[in-house]
Amino acid sequence: MKTVRLPWRTQSCVLCRDSSRHFFNPRQDTPARVPALHARVRAPQLILALICAFALASSALAADLTVQKWNGNGIDYSGYRAGQNPQLNRFPTQAQILEDLKILQRNWTLIRLYGGDQHSQDVMEVIRREKIGLKVLLGIWLDGKPGKEGENANQTATAIRLANEYKDIVLGVSVGNEILVSWSDHKLTEEKAIEYVDQVKKAVSCPVTVADDSLYWRQPEAKLASHVDFITMHTYPMWGHEDIGTAMPSTIRNYESVRKAHPGKTIVLGEAGWASYTIGAQNAPRAGDEKKQKRYYEELTAWAKANDATLFWFEAFDEPWKGSGTEGHWGLFSEGRKAKLAMQTLYPDLMPAGPTSPGYDSPAVPAAKEKP
């Protein structure tokens, strides 16, 4: 794998994390006395720590998703644990959300949420109350099936309220998720999607987008492109039956196809990830793997920084409600909040005692409903 030199900001923060042990983790056999602690802190370490804090704060404050640039590390967050399910209105508690956000703010400055619902409300409240250093791309879950008009209206109204109430936190609103790509099971017409986009744009002061697959956005005739403030595209080499060897070329090819279709339009990668376990014929055999997930995460993150592209990695934590197949294993952390291989260097305190992904030699489990 090609070695990529990270920007100065990232290098400083890595060094800062190391030096911060002198501030917060003195040896257990050293009395926790302030004079002794001060004696151990050298001026260069203090300066480096201050630089790191300033860099992270500046990155969050300067984030603008309408500008084609790397706005900081982003990740998709849904905090649903065992027994919780957004379709059943069983949401994580605020205590659980706080645990999650404290984990995420150590490595990310941006998170993406998916619904105008109680979960997003709780996330906003926790970020503000606890002064968590994260900015949010807020979501609205829309469903084009008959009878869903009332739920769509509630989702839209809640997201508009949150965007206006938390202007210091919300960077933008995504109106719908995968509502136009041909294989969507909750597809809307373009005309209806445009109605929702225009409604939200009139009601909020932040930028508005729609998150959809590159298969939709790569069409030059995609009408939504002229209505959104920036394009949010998804790309999944794994669903194209690709394995890790062709993952990055496939990702770049999809990104460039959208850029060619809509020149001059800012493009954000709203979802791109690699599951740590896969089953079914829709994936290459044994494509899901923690070593492959780590490689794709590192290569994609480096590419995004080098190419002025904001990336929201999919996703933070495994979500059991999505099933035991591929869909349940996209997280960089397990449902139990233990670090998978890609995160173990950054999170030594979250090292697992056992496997964080199923093995292929264990008995097969039923597959959840997968994307076509």
- What pLDDT score was predicted for residue 62? 80
Contact status, residue 164 vs residue 204, Cβ threshold 8 Å: yes
- What pLDDT score was predicted for residue 40? 42
Question: Is residue 48 pLDDT above 90, yes or no?
Answer: no
Taking the C-alpha atoms of residue 115 and residue 175, their distance in angstroms, rounded to an integer, is 9
Mean pLDDT of the chain: 86
- What pLDDT score was predicted for residue 49? 45
Instruction: Quote the strand ranges of the chain, DSSP E.
Output: 74-76, 110-112, 135-140, 170-177, 208-213, 231-234, 267-272, 311-313
Q: Per-residue confidence at 372, pLDDT binned at 50, 70, 90?
A: very low
pLDDT tens-digit readout, 130-149: 999 999 999 999 999 999 99
Domain boundaries, the chain: 8-51, 65-350
28, burial (CB in 10 Å: exposed 0-12, middle 13-18, buried 19+): exposed
- Say what percent of the chain tops pLDDT 70: 81
Question: Is residue 31 pLDDT above 60, yes or no?
Answer: no
Residue 32 parent element (H or E):
none
Q: Per-residue confidence at 54, pLDDT binned at 50, 70, 90?
A: low
Report if pTM > 0.85: no
Task: Match domain 65-350 to its CATH number in 3.30.70.20, 3.40.50.300, 3.20.20.80, 3.40.50.970.
Answer: 3.20.20.80
Q: How far is CA 318 from CA 21, 118, 331, in A?
A: 29, 20, 4
Kindly report the backbone phi and psi dihedral angles of residue 272, in degrees, each rounded to the nearest multiple of 5, phi listed first. -160, 130
Taking the C-alpha atoms of residue 62 and residue 350, their distance in angstroms, rounded to an integer, is 30
Q: Per-residue confidence at 361, pLDDT binned at 50, 70, 90?
A: confident
In DSSP notation, 298-347 reads HHHHHHHHHTT--EEES-SB--GGG-SSGGG---SB-TTS-B-GGGTTT-
Taking the C-alpha atoms of residue 208 and residue 187, their distance in angstroms, rounded to an integer, is 19
- What pLDDT score was predicted for residue 61? 57
pLDDT tens-digit readout, 77-103: 999 999 999 999 999 999 999 999 999
